Amino acid sequence: MQRARGVGRLTTSQRDGATHIARLYQEGCAKIRLPHTHSGTLDAVLINTAGGLIGGDHLSWSIEAAAEGRLVATTQACERVYRSTGADARVETRISVGAKAHLDWLPQETILFENSRLDRSLEIELEDGASLTAVEAILLGREAMGERTRSAHLRDNWRIRRRGRLIHAESTRLSGVEAEHDGLSLLAGYRAFATILHVAPNAEAAEQQYELVGSMVPDGRRIAVSLVGERIIVRALAEGGYALRRLIVPLLAQLSGGGHLPRLWHL
């Protein structure tokens, strides 16, 4: 059966105080667009022209941000992962951030449909003084359509290193077990969840951001912020995609390199 394949690679350079494209490579269903902005930050929009992922599809993204650069990478729309006959859809992302550079990794939400299978990995290498804001959000079905996905399989692995030293690792698993969706210590009946990771240049800068972000977290919501050294980690649960965005968008704007989000993220 025909399967989608895509490879997208982007490398930047720094010139006259602004970040510019140095190299761009596109293959198959992976496309990268660079909308014009009025700042020194380079915006990159990643597009899967296949319109979604099914079992056996494979996407590979590679991004290199130059030293002292500013880069925002997002996606054109939510990624949809459809029913699989058994094989996993695979998405691999490798990112390197040069010394004193900042990268915002802000893909829009991933929607998992019934019996979908997704194996995803994110590997990021940071140089000295580099910083990062990354988010991954998952929607279990489409709220507007009354869908509540319960049989999706997900493997999502993050590995963040600074100059080769592992500083953050986490793995998210969904295997279609009822307890995962209803357990109080797991999804507790919610069908949208997100993780935000901010890696500051140093622990002092992270502590300053933590105080600001902590004051923005609303009471009575399933969202929490923790500080571990140079890292700020945010976990959020919500009833659906819109409610989740209302929770995380203000925090992402605060933690982003430019203090704002790309237009595609606006509510």
pLDDT number for residue 29 = 97
Q: Phi-psi bin for 115: left (phi > 0), alpha (psi -120 to 50), beta? A: left
Statement to judge: residues 39 and 154 lie in one domain? yes
Q: What is the DSSP letter of 109?
A: P
**189 shares its domain with 97:** no
Tell me the residue range of the domain where 13 lies. 1-48+58-109+117-124+144-176
Q: What is the pLDDT of residues 93-135, one digit of tens each?
A: 999 999 999 999 999 999 999 999 999 999 999 999 999 999 9
- Cα–Cα distance, 104 to 138 (Å, whole number): 18
Instruction: Indicate whether 218 and 169 sit together in one domain.
Output: no
Taking residues 43-50, what's their average pLDDT?
A: 97
Verify that 190 and 237 share a domain, yes or no: yes
Q: 3-state class of 116 per DSSP?
A: strand
Radius of gyration of the CA atoms of the chain, in A: 18
Domain assignment present for residue 155? The answer is: yes
Do 236 and 172 fall into the same domain?
no
Residues 249 and 157 in one domain: no
Are 69 and 129 in contact by the 8 Å Cβ rule? The answer is no
Amino acid at 36: H
Enumerate residues 6+ apart whose C-beta is below 8 A from 203. 229, 230
Residue 148 belongs to a domain: yes
This prediction has a pTM of 0.95
* DSSP strand pairing (231-238 vs 165-175): unpaired
- Residues 239, 157: Cα–Cα separation, whole Å: 24
Task: Please answer whether residues 153 and 116 qualify as being in contact, where contact means their C-beta atoms are separated by less than 8 angstroms.
Answer: yes
Given a cut of 90, whether residue 244 has pLDDT beyond it is yes
Shared domain for 217 and 166, answered yes or no, is no
Per-residue pLDDT, 35: 93
Is 266 inside a domain boundary?
Answer: no
Q: Looking at the DSSP assignment, which residues form a beta bridge with residue 58? A: 5, 90
- Looking at the fold, whether 33 and 82 belong to one and the same domain comes out as yes
Q: How many domains does the chain have?
A: 2
- List the beta bridge partners of residue 222: none
Residue 62 within a domain: yes
pLDDT digits (tens, 9 = 90+) for 155-187: 999 999 999 999 999 999 999 888 888 888 889
From residue 172, give the alpha-carbon distance in Å to each of 111, 194, 247: 15, 11, 20
Determine contact, residues 27/76, Cβ cutoff 8 Å.
no
Q: Can you tell me the mean pLDDT for 139-149? A: 87
Is the residue at 264 inside a domain? no
